[in-house]
Amino acid sequence: MSPKDLVLALVVIIVWGLNFVVIKVGLHDMPPMLLGALRFILAAFPAVLFIRRPQIPLRWLLAYGLSISLGQFAFLFSAMALGMPAGLASLVLQAQAFFTLGFAVLLLGERLQLANLFGLLVAAAGLSLIGLQGGHSMTLGGFVLTLCAAAMWAQGNIVTRKLGKVNLVGLVVWGSLIPPLPFLGLSWLLDGPQVMASALRGINLDSILVLLYLAFGATLLGYGLWSRLLSRYPASQVAPFSLLVPVVGLSSAALLLDEQLSRWQLLGALLVMLGLLLNVGGGWLYGLLRLRLVR
């Protein structure tokens, strides 16, 4: 990877890692479903006027928008509003890698490799340790909802795999047209029109900056740069960079929000990171060890 593209990869990781701190700040002044609606309205407009719609059937565009955009962030924003710390949210959300594996086996007929299974077991042990610590700066409800968000992200990944080669930026922008109305409906039902109106009337500079970051930074810039990298390099070379997202998420949350992990949560976080590392690079390590044993 060229030095320039390496810098771009690190920019994406930093933007996506800080995303969780930004969400936490945004939820201080705005209910979660309304925050989701405004995020995707800004992500869609005016970008849809300049970016071509991907040439895919409408049903697949709907499936993508309802899963990876609406489902993932409805659960994630709700989880963080219920007390899920930003740093742990950035980590637990990476369970999407294992949900994606499971869905791919069940729905696409893909085979589960030994390295994937071992990584899954290690990460599951880490997630169990984190989940059992509900009450140590984290609510059990927030933890479960974050896992639901990871499952919805994984469903969106399966939709993307079914689509094959598609312009990822176009898919993200046009997929952003799907969630605003459902988000607004959910906010109306869960929060009520008075809370929505009050939040909109009281919108401040912090909320505006949060929305700009979520829409243009985490969504358009992040996915735009990520798609550029995927178009230039093999996925196996690009994907490992995503392992750094929870590192940035945990570090920025500790620095900016003073979030502290208990000893068991820290151990769980390390196990999850190890499981993710085995999932991404375990096959390569197994092949290397096998080659040395043969020699």
Domain boundaries, the chain: 3-92+133-258
Q: How far apart are CA 40 and CA 29, in angstroms?
A: 18
In angstroms, the CA 177 to CA 43 distance is 8
Q: Are 53 and 203 in contact (CB under 8 A)?
A: no
pTM: 0.89
How do residues 61-110 score in pLDDT, each as one tens digit?
Answer: 999 999 999 999 999 999 999 999 999 999 999 899 888 888 888 888 88
Looking from the CA of 218 toward its CB, the CA atoms found within 13 Å total 24
Convert the pLDDT of each residue in 119-152 to its tens digit.
Answer: 888 888 888 878 776 555 688 899 999 999 999 9
pLDDT score recorded for residue 165 = 83
- Taking CA 197 as the corner, what is the angle to CA 193 and CA 199, rounded to the nearest 5 degrees? 120
Decide if 177 contacts 46 (C-beta within 8 A).
no
* pLDDT on residue 42: 96
